[in-house]
Structure 1
């Protein structure tokens, strides 16, 4: 299933490096081409809850295969899109299975291991996404610049097809849980801890996107790194994400809530240090690595949702990736606003640190609520998670 997440990650991130080629081919402006990214993100936000609820009674293995097939078709269609508006529609379709795939794949992976290894199993699924930033995105960008953006989407569709076949071949069939239904999935939304965990993700994780969205001009104009060296420094972001995924998963298996809280504090420190570290290239490279490492909180949050969603795990797990896309949008928006206000390229770091502080507030609220419910007298009525 990690191959599927690699395909999705490559398809999601590669377009960022292909905007000039796409704009020139379709005879549109680059800001208009950027709307293609927004269309995909909208598909993620819409598709995650809708698919999780409507297909609650479907077995998870066939669902994962179907979602990957839909993603493949969306990318094959994108490669053949005749104009701008058809491409917008096809990118929206490509984004629909994104959140549901990651949520359901994470649940399958966790069900295949002992309880103490759940986060590591989820981390292996997410590993494909982090490797996409390290390998898939640069290769896709290089390929797109050489042969065009259309073949790049076709290759992503091909990888997705291979992923669907491998799931069919190697993933066991897991029976649908008794009583599964759309209403039961929607029951997760009645649980405050589900909303708090999603809020931690949407707000507390936005700092990474705030910095990374504008990292290239920061490196060239503040740090003074030559343009030719920028890809090498950006590769460190992928290295940081990969390390964060692996190490963060192990930490989460040992101590889930301390990992979430500790990573939020790490986010505050690493993002707040960006204006100082960006002044010199060795420390700027370290900063990019550290910002990439903040993704370590992702696996912990996904695992936390499994604990608090009760019978609505599919919906909650899928919504985690919708929350990450909200974090992406918020981080880029607030970081851009700080730059536009004249605070400079490095202001995205403190903006991200403030977002992480917001995540800490929600985390503290979650811990307080959990302790209150645990310590409250229970008259035989189960407390809401």
Structure 2
């Protein structure tokens, strides 16, 4: 075989690998849009199903519970399954959940549809990361994972605002239909472009479960849950905060969510760079900065010109801590990375579930909607304390 033929074959493999990874990026975009978009259409869902805003917020809780329980459980039950057929199956279940959501005749039916969709997402997230790394060229695994992670950020920048806009213009059911169509396209591309061979399965259930005894992993997962709960409380109820506290008209909400997403993307890049250089210290500093930013929104969020700047800053800080949290979990769970990532996704969703429930109680209680950013700041400080314990353990 001559040099030209070898070079052409190598280029073809690299091109195929890139297309496979970009397909995983689209998959990540689809499933993450479904998670975040509900915050933008809460008022429409509440009005359409004749429930309160706090009750509509429980739709976030249902999705989160699906991920919390489904992520580790599905990962363990499918521990020996071939990765590609499993990913396609999970994505099709996700499509079905969103179709059911679009057709839901009642609030309870929509809750069930969200629970179904969320139950497969945690495992899919974990598989997307593992598969992307296995498809990458030697020494390019981190770049491949970053491309998949970009799908998560793109969902925040484009998916959530566009889904909100679709919901406002054509009704909230149209948002779920759009997500189902997008995920169906992603599933078709997954079948066509992601190779069958070369994608590893994991080990035994016993081997995976052994990692649960790791104290560093337990603490890292707790830091993920608590460290994110405060800002998730802010984000889940961001639309009513913007309209009722900051005084923005509903038509401006998609643009403000886009601003949050742009900040999130930049924060993710900066957070990854900082985490490579000082993993836990950067996590502590970023979480503390996030707590301060949330407290500042409580102070000046009612000043309309200041609110967009604070939204951008909070979005940037919220996502800047995620690379460090993921890295710490992967280090602690290196013997069972798929389960570790699934558990971390569950930890994040535990935060979302508790944030939605607590936020609804605060809105209905004496503190009211305007107190959410301050309460979120206090919860984030608790995350700082857990990160400090992680730092102490790493130095002992």
TM range (shorter): 0.7 to 0.9
Q: CA deviation at 1:198?
A: 0.8
Q: CA deviation at 1:187?
A: 1.2
How many angstroms apart in 2 are the aligned matches of 1:15 and 1:339? 18
What are the equivalent positions in structure 2 for 1:146-225 lying under 5 Å apart?
146-172=169-195, 173-176=197-200, 180-225=203-248
Q: CA deviation at 1:195?
A: 1.0
Unaligned runs of 5+ in 2: 1-23
2:130 to 107, 112, 128: 107
Q: CA deviation at 1:20?
A: 5.1
Q: CA deviation at 1:287?
A: 0.9
1:300 to 318, 324, 337: 324
Deviation per CA, 1:184-219, whole angstroms, max 9, x where unpaired?
111121101111111111101112112223334443
What are the equivalent positions in structure 2 for 1:359-370 lying under 5 Å apart?
359-370=383-394
Q: Say how many residue pairs are matched.
A: 371
How many angstroms apart in 2 are the aligned matches of 1:258 and 1:115? 30
How many angstroms apart in 1 are the aligned matches of 2:251 and 2:174? 25
- Assess, with a 3 A threshold, how the Cα gap between structure 1 residues 60 and 337 changes in structure 2: closer, same or farther: same
Is this contact kept in 1: 2:60–2:356, CA < 8 A? no
Number of the residue aligned with 1:380: none
Q: CA deviation at 1:85?
A: 4.1
Is this contact kept in 2: 1:122–1:303, CA < 8 A? no
The question of 1:313 aligning with 2:337 is answered: yes
Residue 305 of structure 2 aligns to a residue whose secondary structure is helix
Moved more, 197-206 or 159-168: 159-168
TM-score (norm: length of structure 1): 0.84
Is this contact kept in 1: 2:134–2:200, CA < 8 A? no
RMSD (CA atoms): 2.9
How many angstroms apart in 1 are the aligned matches of 2:140 and 2:362? 41
- Assess, with a 3 A threshold, how the Cα gap between structure 1 residues 92 and 333 changes in structure 2: closer, same or farther: closer
How many angstroms apart in 2 are the aligned matches of 1:154 and 1:20? 18
Deviation per CA, 1:39-68, whole angstroms, max 9, x where unpaired?
222211111010111111123333322221
1:328 to 352, 361, 383: 352
Deviation per CA, 1:312-361, whole angstroms, max 9, x where unpaired?
21111011111111112333444455555544544323322222221122
- Assess, with a 3 A threshold, how the Cα gap between structure 1 residues 56 and 200 changes in structure 2: closer, same or farther: same
- Assess, with a 3 A threshold, how the Cα gap between structure 1 residues 212 and 39 changes in structure 2: closer, same or farther: closer
Deviation per CA, 1:221-277, whole angstroms, max 9, x where unpaired?
444444543443332111111212233233334443333223222222222322233
Is this contact kept in 1: 2:60–2:353, CA < 8 A? no
Residue 311 of structure 1 aligns to a residue whose secondary structure is coil
The question of 1:281 aligning with 2:295 is answered: no
How many angstroms apart in 1 are the aligned matches of 2:390 and 2:147? 27
Number of the residue aligned with 2:373: 349
Is this contact kept in 2: 1:10–1:156, CA < 8 A? yes
- Assess, with a 3 A threshold, how the Cα gap between structure 1 residues 151 and 268 changes in structure 2: closer, same or farther: closer
How many angstroms apart in 1 are the aligned matches of 2:261 and 2:240? 18
Q: CA deviation at 1:279?
A: 4.3
Residue 281 of structure 1 aligns to a residue whose secondary structure is coil
Residue 205 of structure 1 aligns to a residue whose secondary structure is helix
Unaligned runs of 5+ in 1: 373-385
How many angstroms apart in 1 are the aligned matches of 2:320 and 2:90? 25
1:72 to 95, 98, 101: 95
TM-score (norm: length of structure 2): 0.82
Deviation per CA, 1:120-144, whole angstroms, max 9, x where unpaired?
5434323222322322223223323
- Assess, with a 3 A threshold, how the Cα gap between structure 1 residues 267 and 146 changes in structure 2: closer, same or farther: closer
Number of the residue aligned with 1:383: none
